Structure 1
Amino acid sequence: MKRFVIVVAGLVALAAGLGPVLHVYWSDHWGPDFNEAALAYDIGDYETAMDNYLPFAEDGTGKNNLIAMFNVALMYEKGQGVAQDNDTAEMWFMRAAELGHVESQNRLGHAYENGDWGTKDFDWALLWYGMAADQDDVSAQASLARMYLNSLQSDAPNPDHLPKAVIWLQRAVDGHDARSEAALAYLYETGNGVPLNPERAFKLYRRAAKQSIPFAQNKLANIYYAGELVPRDYTLARRYFTFAAEQQETAAQISLAQMYAWGEGTPRDLVKAYMWLSVADALGNPAAKARLMNVEQQMTPDQISTGDDLSRKCQGKTLMRC
């Protein structure tokens, strides 16, 4: 078995160095081959990949044909093996999307939502996300919900968008999308678009927090800290504040700093409080600066110097294990 693995690895390495040769050999001897297209793409021989994918993209509506259309579109979008051309990429994405290819539908939705090709179009984004969502694609369902929710912040919000957002959030939650769980939890917490239901919100926040969604972790920490919906638990509050803080949730960083400054569920530690407030300030939370100055007034110069060192180290390792 080891010898077989070594031989295969050697062949792949050899193929990577013989891209141009393979390009000529495959074209002259075998013609288009779907599997060879994938191998050629993996080793960076994009011309061979395009030569093998394009005939499949141009002829047929089967699974491999749709995958080929999508890959041809990606290669035009990225300029791999061909000149970069967003118009041609869009054409191939649309051809595959119209035939039901979910990944192409999502790519079109994302492009029109964000203006990736120069033009934002809310309605077109909804159309393509909707086609994927109707095929039970959870990512598209979450994207639809997000778009409807974000539209409520516009200058002319459409009141019909909130119930639509709730419908798609619930569909995405049924598909175990963690961000949708956090968003739906917030609606239940505030009674916005759904009946006020703190207990339901707590359960959804807890599910999303376990999947490392920082907004949900911060919300869950606040629930344990307040001790109104569940018994107060400073240990769990600090744990979830820490999880969120390490993912750049600045509100959690400020709350965690407060727990250290006041010695809540942990020995009082002004240096760690100073460190987290410095991080939150560096990340642009306007509430951090005044609190930082207040903590600093209670510290010695040596403590401040230590706090500055810890803050730099913490940011240098992207806030993990601070």
Structure 2
Amino acid sequence: MIRPLRLLAVLAALAPLPTLAQDTPAEQISAEVLGPRAPVDYAFGAFQRGYYLTAFELALPRAEQNDAAAQTLIAEIYAKGLGVPENHERAAGWYQLASRNGDRLATFELGMLYQAGLGVPKSRERSAELFKAASDAGYVPAKYNMALLHVEGIYAEPSLVTAATLMREAADAELPEAQYDYGSMLLEGAGVAPNNAEGARYIELAARQGLTDAQVDFATLLYLGQGVERNVEDAALWYGRAAESGSAVAQNRYAKLLAVGEGIEANLEDAAMWRALARRQGLVDPDLDRLLVSIPRDAGACRRACALLAIDAPQHRNRCHGAKRRAGRGTSSARPGRSRKCAKPGGRPRRGDRCRNGACRTRRASARGTRSPRPLNRNRIWGNKPATHQSSGGARLHASGQRNTPRSLGRMS
């Protein structure tokens, strides 16, 4: 008795306006102008609200009557284990039925299962065939995957021109990964005439949609003035956004800009913090290490920065004398047997005098004295894209249209 009552409650919540309201003059005019309303899909409504078992019960009778949308919905529930135990074999069966009934999303998702070997034998050839069918049916993520397959040239005809055409179609449909990759192809002239301005524009579009890799590359374009007017302040802003998203490259470059005060107010403590975060992800930059211990702002900043450096790099523990000096004292804590006297005013300071507050002239690295952001690595779209985006189901190609989560071809092997 409990289950029927629960089902009735859900149906009541999903029910459209009363019939009387639909017979009003306003409703009649709306029907004449816009056409009749589409029927309400109660199963999908329950799915969107998280009532997965109810959605399953509502979709099952329709699925048994060869309703492709209902079959795809049941397949999604089994594939993701929503309210039921995860079962890729059953998901593959339902996707197969829906694909035969013309559902392009089901065709795409079935290709994903063949790609990963989940519930079906792993077959790159079969997955490429299914991606091609979904792409021909107009499914945007499938076009993106087919573009990458044409670039790879193993399970699709090797053709950068065809890849660029499909990539642009997906980019114009506002798929951020496609915008980023098509912008990269424009910058390099891969399958399309080189166009730095258009390439930068597409990469900016992807960056504004929150794609971290695009944010890093767009910041680099702004810093170098490639395809856009050079703007170091905006470059620092985009590096900061990507750094907060967890990009080790962005954290490293943002730390450099903070250290030298280029495009952003200098802050040695924050620079040391971002450097430590990048280092913990495996990105070690000796140039940045040397830069941080050579640009003190005051005794307190130097002491705190050196403390941060010592967390991950004990070898720097004794390099910054400000970290050893007591607060309020201007004397150096030099090692025994070595003189650390201050150079004459205007003279060149000696090694070790960089953290003093006396008359010594401190070194300050200029923008051109540090390593500028690395040139863009355009090999990423040839199958080397970093695993920036992953769905709950693991590394895959581009995800289904329901979640619109990127699944990169670079992680297909």
Q: Conserved in 2, the CA contact under 8 Å of 1:259 and 1:266?
A: yes
Distance 2:56 2:188 in 1: 52
Match of 2:239 among 218, 238, 241: 241
The residue type paired with residue 205 of structure 2 is: R
Q: Where do 1:1-322 residues align within 5 Å?
A: 18-19=2-3, 35=42, 39=46, 44=51, 46=53, 49-60=55-66, 65-78=67-80, 85-117=87-119, 119-149=121-151, 151=152, 160-227=158-225, 229-285=227-283, 288-298=284-294, 300-305=302-307
Q: Conserved in 1, the CA contact under 8 Å of 2:180 and 2:214?
A: yes
Any idea what the Cα deviations from partners look like across 1:143-195, whole Å, max 9, x if unmatched?
2223444x36xxx7977143332121011022122211110111111222222
Decide whether aligned partners of structure 1 residues 50 and 219 sit closer, same or farther in structure 2, where only a CA change above 3 A counts: closer
Any idea what the Cα deviations from partners look like across 1:271-319, whole Å, max 9, x if unmatched?
222211211122223xx3424532453363422336789xxxxxxxxxx
Instruction: Give ranges in structure 2 of 5+ residues lacking alignment.
Output: 9-39, 297-301, 312-413
Distance 1:96 1:213 in 2: 32
**Structure 1 residue 104: Cα displacement:** 0.9
**Structure 1 residue 79: Cα displacement:** 5.5
TM-score (norm 1): 0.72
TM-score (norm 2): 0.58
Q: Secondary structure at the match of 2:282?
A: coil
Instruction: Give ranges in structure 1 of 5+ residues lacking alignment.
Output: 1-14, 25-32, 310-322
The residue type paired with residue 57 of structure 1 is: A
The residue type paired with residue 270 of structure 1 is: L
Decide whether aligned partners of structure 1 residues 45 and 189 sit closer, same or farther in structure 2, where only a CA change above 3 A counts: closer
Distance 1:222 1:191 in 2: 18
State the identity %. 23
Aligned residue pairs, count: 276
Q: Conserved in 2, the CA contact under 8 Å of 1:34 and 1:52?
A: no
**Structure 1 residue 220: Cα displacement:** 1.7
Q: Conserved in 2, the CA contact under 8 Å of 1:19 and 1:40?
A: no
Distance 2:47 2:165 in 1: 43
Question: 2:376 — aligned with what?
Answer: none
Any idea what the Cα deviations from partners look like across 1:111-147, whole Å, max 9, x if unmatched?
2223333643222222222222222222222222234
Question: Where is the helix percentage greater, Structure 1 or Structure 2?
Answer: 1
Instruction: Indicate the RMSD between aligned Cα atoms, in angstroms.
Output: 3.4
**Structure 1 residue 237: Cα displacement:** 0.9
Per mean C-alpha deviation after superposition, the further-off stretch among 94-103 and 267-276 is 267-276
The higher relative CO (CA closer than 8 Å, separation ≥ 6) is in 2
Decide whether aligned partners of structure 1 residues 125 and 266 sit closer, same or farther in structure 2, where only a CA change above 3 A counts: same
Larger radius of gyration, structure 1 or 2? 2
The residue type paired with residue 282 of structure 1 is: R
